[in-house]
Amino acid sequence: MSKARRNTASLTRNDTFYAVKPPLFMVHRAPIESNSNDEPSIGETALTRDEAWHLANAWVAAWNAHDLDRIMTHYDDAVELTSPIVAQLLGTADGKVVGKESLRAYFQRGLAAYPELHFRLADVLWGVNSVVLYYTNQKGTHTAEFMELSASGKIAKVVANYGA
């Protein structure tokens, strides 16, 4: 690789070659090692593009329908959500909701507080046991939610981030 290129590009080392780092919000999917049964081990399940988009579209449809029961089908019993909106609505410094029942109560409160709530999915990124949903809400606020999935495929952890 030329010195000029090395000085102008941000480089990363992959076992066999150097490559320019991908821009933010681009997912690099590393190869997955399988166990002796040729089945992925827990914690090593890479989502496909179709699986990620299916999850995202079903999640957005449930929210846009304001169907709390349907929304909750996506979440694991031990789910943990971290969001600045949690801090705002519940007055908690850490912005966390832990457990499915607590999350249901929080979502119920959120749906009541924002009856016009509507999401428009812009993009979906996927990785090993995780997805990032990038969407806008009815106010035009940009949101990216990192969602880590449990072994059963339910959402176990969410970190919500908001922009202008």
Structural domains present in the chain = 49-162 (3.10.450.50)
Q: What is the pLDDT of residue 29?
A: 30
pLDDT attached to residue 46: 85
Measured in degrees and rounded to the nearest 5, phi and psi for residue 9 equal: -120, 150
Q: How high is the pLDDT of residue 164? A: 75
- Cα Rg of the chain (Å, integer): 19
Antiparallel, parallel or unpaired: β 120-126 and 96-98: unpaired
What's the pLDDT score for residue 14? 34
Residues 46-52: contacts with CB under 8 Å, at least 24 apart? 46/126, 46/127, 46/128, 46/129, 47/126, 47/127, 47/128, 47/129, 47/130, 47/131, 47/149, 48/126, 49/126, 51/126, 52/124, 52/125, 52/126, 52/131
Identity at 12, one-letter amino acid code: T
Question: Given this model, what pLDDT does residue 2 score?
Answer: 39
Residues (pLDDT < 70) of the chain are 1-45
User: Which stretches of the chain are DSSP H helices?
Assistant: 3-8, 49-64, 68-72, 84-90, 100-113
pLDDT computed for residue 44 by the predictor? 55
User: Which residue matches tokens 């999640």?
Assistant: 59
pLDDT at residue 41, as a whole number: 39
